[in-house]
Every structure is written in C-alpha cells, then in structure tokens.
Amino acid sequence: MSIDPLLQLLRLKARYTHKELAETLSLTEDDVRARIAAWEKDGTIAGYQAVVDPDRAGDDDVSAFIEVKLTPERGGGFDRLAMRIARFEQVTSCYLASGGYDLMVVVEGRDLREVARFVSEKLSTMDGVLSTATHFRLKIYKENGFLFEKVDLPERLPVAP
C-alpha cells in the first residue's frame, strides 16, 4: 500500500494552502480540509516542522548520532527501553534499526561535552544498554528531502584531449 498523494504533498511542503492541495489533486477544498483534520485527530499527522539551516540561523548546537546496542526485555523486546531513551530532552529522534546495533538515537547539546555527559551519565548507565558508539554531525548536505547547498553542477563532465 502506498502513501496517500495528499500526505505525500504535505510531506514535501506543509504550507500548501487547502486550495493549492485541492487543485493539484483534483479534490474539493472541503475534502482536503476534512482529510487533514481526520489525520491530525487520529495521529497520522503528528505535527508540522520547518527544516532550518543551522548555519544560517546561527545555531551552534552539536548533534550526534548514537548507535545503541540493547538487551531485549522479555515480553517487551526493545520498546520499553527505547521509549525511556526517547523521552530524554536531549534526544531529538530515536529509531529501531537493523544491523550491528539496535537503536539509532539522535541527540543535541550545546557542545561536545554536553553530549558526552549525556552518553556517559544517562544513556550508558541505563539497565539494558550494552554499548554505544557516538558519531558527531559535521555538516548537513540534505535533511528531510531539502538540499542545504545549492551547487550548480555542469550537465556534462569536461572532456580533456
């Protein structure tokens, strides 16, 4: 089952007006308004956010991607521990992942030390956390579908004789 075209458009640009969405999808504005309201009510649409370029906004915070290996709990797997981790205010995203680790946790802090303190004092000390590996974000090229640097690439590569 593929995602509803109306949801796809909202993912690309949540600031479309109901009229623009209706015209694009050959729907009525009332239908668009009702469907969006229903999705907001049932939690399909969890919220709206702007994608912000931290360099242009003067945001000096540090972001880190933390691989977390867990011991699954009997009867609950990873869910209960993952939700405890996700509730920390420093955690901006938390995903169950496949591969060599179980969770991918995105953390933000004022500086490297604050993120390191979070990992060493809060995350690593939790029962069920076996290990962590921290990777600091150095530069954003693309986030949530938005390119941060518009570079005009030549259509063809130069050919040398």
For residue 153, the model assigns a pLDDT of: 62
**Residue 116 corresponds to which amino acid?**
A
Q: Residue 77 pLDDT > 70, yes or no? A: yes
- Give the span between the Cα atoms of 92 and 106, in whole angstroms: 6
Which tokens is 38 given? 């229903």
**pLDDT band per the 50, 70, 90 thresholds, residue 161:** low
What is the tens place of the pLDDT at every residue in 103-151? Answer: 999 999 999 999 999 999 999 999 999 999 999 999 999 998 888 876 6
Q: What is the domain partition of the chain in residue ranges?
A: 5-42, 54-139
Range in 8-12, 48-52, 155-159 the model is least confident about: 155-159
Q: Domain 54-139 class?
A: alpha beta
Beta bridge partners of 131: 69
**pLDDT band per the 50, 70, 90 thresholds, residue 158:** low
For residue 1, the model assigns a pLDDT of: 67
Mean pLDDT rounded to a whole number for the chain: 92
